[in-house]
């Protein structure tokens, strides 16, 4: 934390009579807002200038902005698996996006894993999932079978946004992943023909969920597919960006603007219902920006979605809980999407399976000053198809970008863009991080990725910081 943040905590405690960090009288609601393939730089609180995001920014200004917020994978489905289980997905061998296999119950999040919805449902929470699921499309993998009591969304990896393009009204008619993008939206188990821009449909459903469940604790997982491709937006949002000359970037901006409007409506509903101080709201992206596919911007980070560079798995990340967390804090220690499960489970006194311990950490004591130091000794990444691994400990990050390439070392506090490889200059740091990676790797299901750490000649470093080529 910055010195100013310590002063903010102190002022917060004084203003609240030093009782600011006492346990709440009732378990808080939880809303997780997840975007898809959003660039690190594409939100106002991370410096974006061409896409106003006042409502997303308000989550950070009313709470905590995490400058080193990570997901557990730069791939969509493994990232979601980690978030919803609170565990590194390598524990249960879930390191790849699943194929579209409606008749395969083993394609998707393993049935052996307990989800956050399962856990909160056991202590009386109403649970709802809206938007992109991408954790299996068989009946056994359906959100209603994984702890959610309500579902409004789609099961696959992506979807069209314009309702006139949706032509398939029965799930079993989708034989391929491409077909699944044209399916009608599902309400629970039933296909429904939507009439509005898809992002607006999801936002309206979120507002409805909050209004309908204001009298009981609830968990809402609002997983937008925006700004994932295809790049599609309505004139309502496109007209807001006449000064963006790139057609791709303009459409991307419009898609993000629709998300921001929807989040604003949802936050307004919380205030209207008197729920703002009773609701923990977390916002993040499922992965870094897919720059070539959607014209997102990961500046100043290197790389993009599906890569082990910072631009792949460091994401825009913010959290608010008015009256319980400091307002306007910038938190610089690394945190993980896995921490969301651990945080709400602790606050709700929800049971956690001792045979499947969480890798996440309850962040509240760190944010309120009750605990000092970093929530995690280190954070880890493994990508078997690429042969990539990464480990971050403090300011240093070791990364193997691809099979048979030498391990590289970066000081992220002075080189956030990963331009200067320090492997030859810091052999002791390298040795320590390799040891940490080896210990962690042995705790996970085997993938053979650790074999990629070999003393080979380093490859040339691309010094570009990661800005997207926004196209024509």
pLDDT at res. 9? 53
**Helix, strand, coil shares, percent, the chain, to 5:** 30, 15, 50
User: Do 360 and 387 fall into the same domain?
Assistant: no
With beta carbons less than 8 A apart as the criterion, state whether 461 and 285 touch: no
Domain-ending residue, one of 320, 336, 367: 367
Q: Does residue 449 surpass a pLDDT of 50?
A: no
Q: In the chain, how many domains are there?
A: 2
Local structure of residue 183 (DSSP, 8 states): B
For residues 209 and 240, state if they share a domain: yes
Give me the CATH number covering residue 188.
3.40.720.10
Dist. CA 319–CA 329, nearest whole Å: 10
Instruction: Classify residue 459: in a domain, yes or no.
Output: no
Q: Tell whether the model's pLDDT for residue 17 goes beyond 50.
A: no
Tell me whether residue 47 is in a domain.
yes
Neighbours of 281 (CB within 10 A): 26
Is 250 inside any structural domain? yes
Core vs surface per residue 156-176: b (16+ CB within 10 A) or e: bbbbbbeeeebeeeebeebee
User: pLDDT digits over 33-42, tens only?
Assistant: 999 999 999 9
Output the CA–CA distances (angstroms, integers) from residue 436 to 439, 445, 457, in the order listed.
5, 16, 22
Span 383-394, pLDDT tens digits: 999 999 999 999
Same domain, 327 and 386: no
Does 228 have pLDDT greater than 90? yes
Average pLDDT in the 350-363 region?
Answer: 95
Q: Are residues 355 and 408 in the same domain?
A: no
Q: What percent of the chain has pLDDT over 90?
A: 86
147: helix, strand or coil: coil
319 inside domain: yes
Rounded to an integer, what distance in angstroms lies between the CA atom of residue 151 and that of residue 99? 21
In a domain, 460, yes or no: no
81 and 220, same domain (yes or no)? yes
The partner residues of 467 in beta bridges, in order of sequence, read none
Last residue of a domain, one of 343, 367, 391: 367
Q: Do residues 283 and 386 both lie within one domain?
A: no
Domain of 398, in residue numbers: 379-452
| Domain end among 367, 399, 414 | 367
Average pLDDT over residues 267-283: 98
DSSP per-residue codes, 403-465: TTPPPEEEETTT-TT--S--TTT-HHHHHHHHHHHHHHHHHSPP-SGGGG---PPPPPP----
158 and 280 both lie in a single domain: yes
Q: Are residues 322 and 383 in the same domain?
A: no
CATH of the domain at 399: 3.30.1120.10
Both 268 and 132 in a single domain? yes
Query: Is residue 13 pLDDT above 80, yes or no?
Result: no
Percent share of the chain, pLDDT over 70: 89
Residue 390: inside a domain: yes
- Do residue 234 and residue 362 come from a single domain? yes
CB 143 within 8 A of CB 133: yes
Residue 460 has pLDDT above 50, yes or no: no
């Amino acid at each position: 934390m910055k010195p100013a943040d310590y002063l903010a905590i102190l002022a917060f405690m004084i203003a609240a009579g030093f009782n600011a960090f006492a346990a709440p009288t009732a378990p808080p609601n939880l809303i997780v807002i997840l975007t898809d393939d959003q660039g690190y730089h594409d939100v106002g609180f991370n410096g974006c200038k061409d896409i106003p995001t006042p409502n997303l920014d308000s989550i950070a200004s009313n709470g905590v902005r995490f400058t080193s917020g990570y997901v557990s994978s730069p791939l969509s489905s493994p990232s979601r698996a980690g978030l919803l289980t609170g565990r590194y997905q390598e524990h249960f061998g879930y390191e790849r996006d699943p194929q579209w296999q409606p008749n395969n119950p083993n394609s998707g999040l393993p049935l052996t894993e307990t989800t956050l919805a399962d856990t909160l449902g056991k202590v009386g929470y109403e649970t709802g999932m809206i938007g992109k699921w991408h954790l299996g499309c068989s009946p056994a993998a359906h959100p209603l079978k994984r702890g959610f009591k309500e579902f409004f969304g789609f099961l696959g990896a992506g979807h069209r946004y314009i309702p006139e393009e949706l032509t398939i009204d029965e799930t079993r008619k989708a034989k391929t992943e491409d077909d699944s993008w044209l399916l009608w939206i599902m309400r629970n188990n039933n296909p429904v023909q939507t009439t509005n821009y898809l992002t607006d449909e999801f936002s309206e459903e979120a507002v409805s969920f909050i209004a309908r469940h204001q009298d009981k604790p609830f968990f809402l997982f609002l997983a937008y597919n925006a700004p994932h491709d295809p790049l599609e937006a309505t004139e309502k949002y496109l007209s807001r960006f006449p000064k963006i000359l790139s057609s791709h970037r303009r459409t991307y901006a419009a898609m993000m603007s629709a998300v921001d409007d929807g989040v604003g409506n949802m936050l307004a509903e919380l205030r209207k219902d008197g729920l703002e101080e009773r609701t923990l709201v977390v916002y993040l992206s499922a992965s870094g920006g897919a720059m070539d596919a959607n014209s997102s911007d990961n500046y100043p980070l290197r790389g993009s979605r599906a890569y082990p560079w910072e631009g792949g798995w460091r994401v825009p990340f913010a959290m608010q809980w008015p009256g319980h967390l400091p307002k306007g804090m910038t938190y610089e220690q690394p945190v993980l999407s896995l921490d969301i499960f651990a945080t709400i489970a602790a606050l709700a006194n929800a049971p956690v399976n001792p045979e499947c311990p969480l890798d996440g950490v309850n962040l509240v004591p760190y944010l309120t000053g009750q605990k000092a130091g970093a929530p995690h000794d280190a954070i880890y990444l493994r990508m078997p198809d690429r042969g990539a691994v990464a480990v971050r400990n403090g300011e240093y990050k070791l990364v193997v970008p691809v099979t048979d390439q030498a391990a590289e070392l970066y000081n992220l506090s002075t080189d956030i863009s990963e331009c200067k490889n320090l492997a030859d200059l810091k052999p002791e740091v390298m040795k320590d991080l390799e040891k940490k990676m080896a210990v962690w790797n042995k705790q996970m299901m085997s993938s053979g990725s650790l074999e990629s750490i070999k003393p080979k000649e380093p490859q040339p470093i691309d010094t570009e910081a990661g800005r997207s080529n926004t196209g024509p």
